[in-house]
Chains A and B, each alone.
Chain A
Amino acid sequence: KAGVTQTPRYLIKTRGQQVTLSCSPISGHRSVSWYQQTPGQGLQFLFEYFSETQRNKGNFPGRFSGRQFSNSRSEMNVSTLELGDSALYLCASSLAREGAETGELFFGEGSRLTVL
């Protein structure tokens, strides 16, 4: 069974640009969550999608957005990049059901974004 796949694995952008990251969950998983990981702030929750609907949202500015497609694949977008957006962006999928969640997340290896 294939794991969670994130693309691209590494990317470099400059301030002001925008970036789109992609995540393919484990087959059959309908929930996809996104996290930002930095040495200073640790792991910060961005948002979670379930069946194409955003179910939970973290405390990030509107420059951070996401969506989920009917096949459960998800993308997140960061517009007007800032130096502080440099981080490892992690995607996780889970076998959540409507109105329920096991808390058992399966993570991808992440997309490492560097903003210059």
Chain B
Amino acid sequence: GNSVTQMEGPVTLSEEAFLTINCTYTATGYPSLFWYVQYPGEGLQLLLKATKADDKGSNKGFEATYRKETTSFHLEKGSVQVSDSAVYFCVSMDSNYQLIWGAGTKLIIKP
């Protein structure tokens, strides 16, 4: 079946560092891909998405590019802030419209 694998956390970085959170998926066809974020004490929210190969989703300085060759959707940000500390989930949507969630990666940004 479909699955999503993302790097284990926690990932700890200093402010202004470059961020990459790796995500790979297995699926038949080309699923839509998403990154969701859960800030401390807040509900989960959609961060960005890409619906077809080579699409780049972006929001709040974060980017992720849909790479069908490597079946990846890595999340990147050029300069992280303390306020980016959160748990990040990589998600794919299968052909039955069911969302397949990664395990989540906790990101800790130190000032």
A90 to B97, CA, bound (A): 18
**Which residues of chain B in 43-86 are interfacial with respect to chain A, using CB atoms and an 8 Å cutoff?**
43-46, 49
- How far apart sit A92 and B43, CA to CA, in the bound complex (Å)? 10
The answer to whether the Cβ of A109 comes within 8 Å of any Cβ in the partner chain is yes
For B, the interface residue count at a CB cutoff of 8 angstroms equals: 19
Q: Is the interface of B mostly helix, strand, loop or mixed?
A: strand
| Cα of A51 to Cα of B56 in the assembled complex, Å | 33
Interface residues of B (CB under 8 A from A): 32, 34, 36, 42-46, 49, 89, 91, 93, 96-99, 101, 103-104
Q: Which of these, B43, B89, B98, contacts A48 with CB under 8 Å? A: B98
Q: Is A61 an interface residue (CB 8 A)?
A: no
Number of A positions contacting B (CB below 8 A): 22
Q: Which residue of A lies closest to B92 (CB)?
A: A103
Q: How far is the CA of A37 from the CA of B49 in the complex (A)?
A: 22
Contacts of B93 in A (CB 8 A): 101, 103
A29-50 interface with B by 8 A CB criterion = 33, 42-43, 45, 48
